[in-house]
Structure 1
Amino acid sequence: MLKISLKQGQYVNIGDNIRVVYVGGTGNHGRLMIDAPKEVKIARSTVEQNPERRKDTYYPEPAISKEAQDEIKKILWNERMKAETKKDAERMSH
Protein backbone atom coordinates (compact mmCIF):
# COMPACT_ATOMS: atom_id res chain seq x y z
CA MET A 1 0.00 0.00 0.00
CA LEU A 2 1.24 3.48 -0.86
CA LYS A 3 0.54 6.45 1.41
CA ILE A 4 1.19 9.91 -0.03
CA SER A 5 0.41 13.53 0.68
CA LEU A 6 -0.79 15.75 -2.13
CA LYS A 7 -1.34 19.47 -2.47
CA GLN A 8 -4.35 20.83 -4.31
CA GLY A 9 -3.99 20.20 -8.04
CA GLN A 10 -1.39 17.46 -7.67
CA TYR A 11 -2.17 14.04 -9.03
CA VAL A 12 -1.20 10.38 -9.07
CA ASN A 13 -1.15 8.32 -12.26
CA ILE A 14 -2.07 4.66 -11.95
CA GLY A 15 -0.87 2.72 -14.95
CA ASP A 16 -1.16 4.45 -18.31
CA ASN A 17 -4.81 5.42 -18.22
CA ILE A 18 -5.94 6.35 -14.70
CA ARG A 19 -5.29 9.69 -13.00
CA VAL A 20 -6.41 10.67 -9.50
CA VAL A 21 -6.31 14.42 -8.82
CA TYR A 22 -6.59 15.96 -5.34
CA VAL A 23 -8.87 18.97 -5.73
CA GLY A 24 -8.97 20.10 -2.11
CA GLY A 25 -10.72 19.42 1.12
CA THR A 26 -11.42 20.54 4.66
CA GLY A 27 -10.98 18.75 7.96
CA ASN A 28 -11.42 15.02 7.50
CA HIS A 29 -12.90 15.34 4.00
CA GLY A 30 -10.90 15.37 0.79
CA ARG A 31 -12.14 15.71 -2.77
CA LEU A 32 -10.67 13.66 -5.58
CA MET A 33 -11.27 13.63 -9.32
CA ILE A 34 -10.71 10.27 -10.96
CA ASP A 35 -10.12 10.08 -14.70
CA ALA A 36 -10.36 6.48 -15.86
CA PRO A 37 -11.72 4.53 -18.83
CA LYS A 38 -15.39 3.64 -18.65
CA GLU A 39 -14.62 -0.06 -18.33
CA VAL A 40 -12.82 0.52 -15.00
CA LYS A 41 -15.20 -0.03 -12.09
CA ILE A 42 -14.91 2.62 -9.37
CA ALA A 43 -16.68 2.20 -6.03
CA ARG A 44 -16.58 4.36 -2.90
CA SER A 45 -15.99 2.53 0.35
CA THR A 46 -18.78 2.77 2.90
CA VAL A 47 -20.37 0.69 5.62
CA GLU A 48 -22.24 -1.19 2.87
CA GLN A 49 -20.07 -4.15 1.87
CA ASN A 50 -22.03 -4.99 -1.29
CA PRO A 51 -21.07 -2.38 -3.93
CA GLU A 52 -23.93 -3.47 -6.20
CA ARG A 53 -26.40 -2.12 -3.64
CA ARG A 54 -24.68 1.29 -3.54
CA LYS A 55 -26.23 4.09 -5.57
CA ASP A 56 -22.90 5.89 -5.89
CA THR A 57 -21.08 2.90 -7.41
CA TYR A 58 -19.97 3.52 -10.96
CA TYR A 59 -20.94 0.85 -13.45
CA PRO A 60 -19.37 1.00 -16.88
CA GLU A 61 -21.55 1.22 -19.94
CA PRO A 62 -21.50 -1.86 -22.15
CA ALA A 63 -18.88 -1.68 -24.87
CA ILE A 64 -20.05 -0.77 -28.35
CA SER A 65 -19.93 -3.44 -31.01
CA LYS A 66 -17.00 -3.90 -33.38
CA GLU A 67 -19.29 -2.90 -36.26
CA ALA A 68 -20.19 0.38 -34.55
CA GLN A 69 -16.51 1.08 -33.81
CA ASP A 70 -15.66 0.47 -37.48
CA GLU A 71 -18.48 2.79 -38.59
CA ILE A 72 -17.23 5.54 -36.26
CA LYS A 73 -13.71 5.13 -37.65
CA LYS A 74 -15.06 5.47 -41.22
CA ILE A 75 -16.98 8.63 -40.32
CA LEU A 76 -13.96 10.20 -38.62
CA TRP A 77 -11.70 9.23 -41.52
CA ASN A 78 -14.12 10.77 -44.05
CA GLU A 79 -14.38 13.99 -42.02
CA ARG A 80 -10.59 14.21 -41.83
CA MET A 81 -10.26 13.71 -45.57
CA LYS A 82 -12.87 16.42 -46.23
CA ALA A 83 -10.95 18.85 -44.00
CA GLU A 84 -7.64 18.06 -45.70
CA THR A 85 -9.21 18.43 -49.16
CA LYS A 86 -10.61 21.81 -48.12
CA LYS A 87 -7.18 22.92 -46.82
CA ASP A 88 -5.52 21.80 -50.06
CA ALA A 89 -8.09 23.72 -52.12
CA GLU A 90 -7.54 26.85 -50.04
CA ARG A 91 -3.76 26.60 -50.48
CA MET A 92 -4.10 26.16 -54.25
CA SER A 93 -6.36 29.23 -54.54
CA HIS A 94 -3.87 31.54 -52.79
Structure 2
Amino acid sequence: MLILTRRISESVIIGDNVKITVLGVKGNQVRLGIDAPKEVSVHREEIYERIQQEKNQGDRNPVLADVKPADSEA
Protein backbone atom coordinates (compact mmCIF):
# COMPACT_ATOMS: atom_id res chain seq x y z
CA MET A 1 0.00 0.00 0.00
CA LEU A 2 1.27 3.43 -0.93
CA ILE A 3 0.87 5.94 1.91
CA LEU A 4 0.86 9.66 1.10
CA THR A 5 0.46 12.79 3.20
CA ARG A 6 -1.54 15.66 1.73
CA ARG A 7 -2.76 18.97 3.09
CA ILE A 8 -5.98 20.82 2.27
CA SER A 9 -6.08 21.76 -1.43
CA GLU A 10 -3.32 19.28 -2.31
CA SER A 11 -4.01 16.45 -4.74
CA VAL A 12 -3.03 12.97 -5.78
CA ILE A 13 -3.12 11.94 -9.44
CA ILE A 14 -3.99 8.34 -10.35
CA GLY A 15 -3.14 7.31 -13.88
CA ASP A 16 -3.65 10.01 -16.47
CA ASN A 17 -7.21 11.00 -15.68
CA VAL A 18 -8.14 10.66 -11.97
CA LYS A 19 -7.42 13.48 -9.53
CA ILE A 20 -8.21 13.29 -5.80
CA THR A 21 -8.04 16.56 -3.86
CA VAL A 22 -8.24 17.04 -0.09
CA LEU A 23 -11.03 19.58 0.40
CA GLY A 24 -11.12 19.68 4.16
CA VAL A 25 -10.33 17.98 7.44
CA LYS A 26 -12.66 18.18 10.44
CA GLY A 27 -11.94 15.97 13.42
CA ASN A 28 -11.39 12.45 12.12
CA GLN A 29 -13.17 13.08 8.81
CA VAL A 30 -11.51 14.03 5.55
CA ARG A 31 -13.48 15.55 2.65
CA LEU A 32 -12.18 14.47 -0.74
CA GLY A 33 -13.00 15.78 -4.18
CA ILE A 34 -12.63 13.21 -6.95
CA ASP A 35 -12.32 14.26 -10.57
CA ALA A 36 -12.62 11.22 -12.85
CA PRO A 37 -14.11 10.38 -16.24
CA LYS A 38 -17.73 9.16 -16.29
CA GLU A 39 -16.62 5.64 -17.20
CA VAL A 40 -14.63 5.34 -13.95
CA SER A 41 -16.84 4.18 -11.08
CA VAL A 42 -16.16 5.87 -7.75
CA HIS A 43 -17.83 4.49 -4.61
CA ARG A 44 -17.30 4.57 -0.87
CA GLU A 45 -15.97 1.18 0.23
CA GLU A 46 -19.17 0.09 1.99
CA ILE A 47 -21.25 0.92 -1.10
CA TYR A 48 -18.83 -0.94 -3.38
CA GLU A 49 -19.03 -4.01 -1.12
CA ARG A 50 -22.84 -3.90 -1.18
CA ILE A 51 -22.81 -3.68 -5.00
CA GLN A 52 -20.48 -6.69 -5.17
CA GLN A 53 -22.71 -8.69 -2.80
CA GLU A 54 -25.75 -7.91 -4.93
CA LYS A 55 -23.90 -8.97 -8.08
CA ASN A 56 -22.82 -12.24 -6.44
CA GLN A 57 -26.37 -12.95 -5.23
CA GLY A 58 -27.67 -12.30 -8.73
CA ASP A 59 -25.18 -14.80 -10.14
CA ARG A 60 -26.33 -17.46 -7.66
CA ASN A 61 -30.05 -16.83 -8.25
CA PRO A 62 -30.64 -17.10 -11.99
CA VAL A 63 -33.94 -15.84 -13.31
CA LEU A 64 -36.32 -18.72 -13.85
CA ALA A 65 -38.68 -16.92 -16.21
CA ASP A 66 -38.55 -19.69 -18.83
CA VAL A 67 -39.21 -22.53 -16.40
CA LYS A 68 -42.77 -23.82 -16.60
CA PRO A 69 -44.45 -25.49 -13.62
CA ALA A 70 -44.91 -29.24 -13.84
CA ASP A 71 -48.35 -30.29 -15.02
CA SER A 72 -50.26 -31.51 -11.97
CA GLU A 73 -52.55 -33.68 -14.09
CA ALA A 74 -51.20 -37.12 -14.91
Task: Tell me which interval the TM-score lies in, with the shorter structure as reference length.
Answer: 0.5 to 0.7
Distance across 1 between alignment mates of 2:38 and 2:47: 25
Q: Given the two structures, how large is their TM-score scaled by the length of structure 1?
A: 0.50
TM-score scaled by length of structure 2: 0.62
Query: Unaligned 5+ residue runs, structure 1?
Result: 54-94
- 1:47 Cα shift? 7.7
Indicate conservation of the 8 Å contact 1:18/1:37, yes or no.
Answer: yes
Question: Aligned-pair distance for 1:28?
Answer: 1.0
Gap regions ≥5 residues in structure 2: 54-74
In structure 1, distance between residues paired with 2:22 and 2:34:
9
Per the TM alignment, residue 5 of structure 1 is displaced from its structure 2 partner at its CA by 1.2
Instruction: Give the count of matched residue pairs.
Output: 53
Structure 1 or 2: larger strand share? 2
**Does 1 or 2 have the higher relative contact order (CA < 8 Å, sep 6+)?**
2
- The residue aligned with 1:57 is none
Matching residue of 1:56 = none
What SS is found at the alignment partner of 1:39? coil
Aligned to 1:43: 43
Question: SS at 1:5's partner residue?
Answer: coil
Paired position in structure 1 for 2:31: 31
Contact 1:12 1:19 in 2 (8 A): yes
Residue 24 of structure 1, CA deviation: 0.9
Distance 1:41 1:30 in 2: 20
Please give the residue correspondences for 1:13-24 in structure 2 after superposition, counting only pairs within 5 Å: 13-24=13-24
Alignment of 1:4 onto 2:4: yes
Percent identity between matched residues is 38
